[in-house]
Amino acid sequence: MTAHVYATAVEAAEGLAVALIEDIRRRPDLVLALPTGATPLPLYAALRRAAHEGPDLMVHLRTFNLDEFVGVPADDTASYRSYMNRELFHAAHLSARQIGFLDGCAEDLDEECRRYDQRIAQAGGIDVAVLGLGRNGHIGFNEPAEMLHAHTHVAVLDESTRLANARWFGDAVSRAPRQALSMGVGIMLGARRIMLLATGAAKAQAVAQLRSGVVTTRVPASLLQCHPDVTLWLDEDAARF
């Protein structure tokens, strides 16, 4: 596992953006897994700038986001789909055909998860999985547990995760969803390359656990140590232990 450490969170995100853009230039039809959250905001800002400078850069990409809240319609401003529309999809002119997204309002959520994994398989699997990191070591919404799901599934969110998510719901924890659909760890580990972005002191402990040499489902990100091609982009605060 390689780690690049930068002085600031923005520099770390921009460092990841440079590496990702290089990958896209080499293989314009890459299949990406993408995260949401506060951490990747400067990454998406850098990708928007790159799309503006090279309008053809992303026309052949395929994307699959890691997760979506259950019960939040795609057109709700708090949905991850709306986040991605705002932060990347619209500015980079990604067409509906290029975008894979979980529907947290699907009538049959288990069927929706199966459909998602099938679409990923039909796309040839994930080439590059870009991941964030929860304070508790979650990746996507694979929360610490005795057992983890290999495939996309309905995930019950930890209270600490709901607390962190409250910011998308008017700072009201009571409105933060209790469930999400999440790509499973097996699909993530099936990616050819994994790039993880973690910034801020609140992530330092999870980063240390993810590099500890011990693999445990109690720190889902620690499973990444079993993957042969993982690179971390960190700021000094996240890398301090």
Q: Which residues have a catalytic role annotated?
A: 67, 136, 138, 143
Taking CB under 6 A as the criterion, the residue among 15, 42, 104, 140 binding ligand F6R is: 140
Taking CB under 6 A as the criterion, the residue among 15, 100, 104, 132 binding ligand F6R is: 132
Cα–Cα distance between 208 and 95 in angstroms, integer? 38
If binding is defined by CB under 6 A, does position 226 make contact with ligand F6R? no
Rounded to a whole number of angstroms, the minimum distance from the CB of residue 55 to ligand F6R is: 26
Cα–Cα distance between 144 and 164 in angstroms, integer? 15
Q: ∠ at Cα 163 (240, 8), nearest 5°?
A: 30
User: Nearer to ligand F6R by C-beta: 107 or 171?
Assistant: 171
Q: ∠ at Cα 182 (211, 221), nearest 5°?
A: 5
Rounded to a whole number of angstroms, the minimum distance from the CB of residue 54 to ligand F6R is: 26
- Which one of the spans 42-50, 115-123, 130-138, 207-215 is the region binding ligand F6R (CB under 6 A)? 130-138
Sheet-wide strand order for 179-182: 67-69, 179-182, 153-156
Beta strands 179-182 and 153-156 are antiparallel
Q: Site size for ligand F6R, by CB under 6 A?
A: 13
Cα–Cα distance between 79 and 165 in angstroms, integer? 11
Cα–Cα distance between 98 and 102 in angstroms, integer? 14
Taking CB under 6 A as the criterion, the residue among 17, 66, 88, 223 binding ligand F6R is: 66
If binding is defined by CB under 6 A, does position 39 make contact with ligand F6R? yes
If binding is defined by CB under 6 A, does position 38 make contact with ligand F6R? yes
User: Nearer to ligand F6R by C-beta: 50 or 188?
Assistant: 188
User: Nearer to ligand F6R by C-beta: 24 or 131?
Assistant: 131
If binding is defined by CB under 6 A, does position 177 make contact with ligand F6R? no
Compute the Cα dihedral for 134, 138, 142, 146 and give only its sign.
negative
Identify whether the C-beta of residue 24 lies closer than 8 Å to the C-beta of residue 57: yes
If binding is defined by CB under 6 A, does position 158 make contact with ligand F6R? no
Taking CB under 6 A as the criterion, the residue among 9, 15, 21, 36 binding ligand F6R is: 36
User: Nearer to ligand F6R by C-beta: 127 or 143?
Assistant: 143
How far from 12 is each of 15, 18, 140, 196, CA to CA, in Å? 5, 10, 20, 10
Residues that bind ligand F6R (CB under 6 A): 35-39, 66-67, 132-134, 138-140
